[in-house]
Structure 1
Amino acid sequence: MTALILALIAGAVVGLVLGALGGGGSVLAVPALIYLLGFTPATATTAALIIVTATSLTALYAHARSGRVRWKAGAAFAAAGILPAAAAGAAAAHLPQTALTLAFAAIAALSAIKMLRPSDTTRPKDGGVRPGKAAGAGAALGTLTGLLGVGGGFLAVPALVTVLAFEMDAAVGTSLLVITANSLASLATRSGTAASLDWALVGPFIGTAILGAWDGKRIAAKVSAPHLQRIFAVVLLAVAAFMLADAVT
């Protein structure tokens, strides 16, 4: 199977997951780029950021049309993560490849475990927003995005619900704004790496990811979200285990 076909298939899968679950698909992009398309961990995280940005912008447009994006609060949350995303993006280029792989495997495993546990969507009892917690959550998400090339939707949505007291649909839509801002900030520090990417593979990957995201929304309407989430979590655990084994052997 040629690399181009693999890129098209991988992009479609990533897009389907993003569209069906509202996040998490980007966690599959990095291992797909490394193990299917032969990217190094450093170039894979840069390519994943580009894929995440393009796909998130498309989904953001759809959610914005439905009135599910809280622009002012989302921009404030994203602002806390922009500098950490840029700093982490610059630091990632100087970290050992094995360290990036191990860190990514750990994050993938943690996110899978989180998905398998019952969701905690309880909003603050006093209904108030905690600025300190909001800034901390935004900064942590930005760091994760910049370092590992993941959008962080699996962290952004619960943070917006529990810290900023968003309703779930508004949290999903606004998280796309946060993810896009963090990804762009990190990409700004990776211009050299981005120029050296194999765009003959990255371009088709992005195209099918965007198309897959629209199909994922239709799948989500037919299959229960908890069931889809459990399937994805099991797959993600397997990916994390494979990456961990590869890094230590």
Structure 2
Amino acid sequence: MTALVLALTAGAVVGLALGALGGGGSVLAVPALIYLLGFTPAAATTAGLIIVTATSLTALYAHARAGRVRWKAGAAFAAAGVLPAAAAGAAAAHVPQAVLTTAFAAIAALSAITMLRPADTARSGSGGVRPGKAAGAGAGLGTLTGLLGVGGGFLTVPTLITVLGFEMEAAVGTSLLVITANSLASLATRSGTAASLDWAVIGPFIGTAILGAWDGKRMAAKVSGPRLQRIFAVVLLAVAAFMLADAVT
């Protein structure tokens, strides 16, 4: 029963993050699966991808209905990351667990730092679209998704703003398309490990994450984006510090 309550609570938080910010859910889902629900890092990254894929699809639908998804640009950005995501997903099974944990902590810290600098991100978005840089960023995000089980939305949103000149609302909605595509590509290479996962925990986690995503979208309409990002960034810094300490001790 305790595991069920923890899964339901963690799922709600993950969904809120994805719905409100267009990313960040997986950098909370994986630590929750490891430290609260007893998953190994390898199993947690696979389960995290499943959770984030289902939740992102729900949030994508909500944002698409509001006209906040730029399908053509988002699809092109995502296409650059599909193959790297699949390749990294296949390689993830051969990476030591301590390395996965350390790398994940570093990504969580980078996510927090990125979210604490929204003003700089917005100012740099006036430089025009750079297709080569966009393709490189898409490939890099795909690699992170495949290797660490992170959707990459916390990096996709600022990249869409700075490289493609998106406004914040369009960047959040379009990032969900990128997250979904990369996560599905990575999951395709991990299908053999999915059957061994604890679905009695993952199922409820997904359920409350989906509900949380709808609430997150409504929250985003009421609370300023910068304020949400600062709160989330503080939480991520704490998570990153805890995981790094655990990895080196």
When the two structures are superposed, what TM-score results if normalisation uses the length of structure 2? 0.95
For residues 18-61 of structure 1, give each alpha carbon's deviation from its aligned partner in whole angstroms, at most 9, with x where no partner exists: 22222212210000000000000000000000111001101111
Aligned to 2:75: 75
C-alpha displacement at 1:170, in angstroms? Answer: 1.7
Count of matched residue positions in the alignment of Structure 1 and Structure 2: 247
Aligned to 2:186: 186
Greater CA drift, 98-107 or 70-79: 70-79
Aligned to 1:107: 107
Name the aligned partner's letter for residue 125 of structure 2: R
Question: Do the aligned residues in 1 keep the contact of 2:115 with 2:233 (CA within 8 Å)?
Answer: yes
Match of 1:123 among 125, 148, 169: 125
Is the aligned partner of 1:84 residue 2:84? Answer: yes
Name the aligned partner's letter for residue 63 of structure 2: H
Counterpart mapping for 1:1-249 below 5 A: 2-119=2-119, 120-121=121-122, 122-125=124-127, 127=128, 129-249=129-249
Identity %: 88
Name the aligned partner's letter for residue 83 of structure 1: L
When the two structures are superposed, what TM-score results if normalisation uses the length of structure 1? 0.95
C-alpha displacement at 1:229, in angstroms? Answer: 1.6
- Structure 2 distance, partners of 1:134, 1:158, is 12
For residues 149-172 of structure 1, give each alpha carbon's deviation from its aligned partner in whole angstroms, at most 9, with x where no partner exists: 111111111111211222222221
RMSD over aligned Cα atoms = 1.3
- Structure 1 distance, partners of 2:97, 2:149, is 14
Name the aligned partner's letter for residue 165 of structure 1: G
For residues 100-143 of structure 1, give each alpha carbon's deviation from its aligned partner in whole angstroms, at most 9, with x where no partner exists: 00000011011112212243123243x3x322111101000100
For residues 192-214 of structure 1, give each alpha carbon's deviation from its aligned partner in whole angstroms, at most 9, with x where no partner exists: 11111100100100000000111
In structure 2, list runs of 5 or more residues that go unmatched.
Answer: none
Aligned-partner SS, 2:203: helix
Aligned-partner SS, 1:123: helix
- Structure 2 distance, partners of 1:162, 1:231, is 22
Aligned-partner SS, 2:43: helix
Higher helix proportion: 2
- Structure 1 distance, partners of 2:146, 2:238, is 24
- Structure 1 distance, partners of 2:189, 2:235, is 31
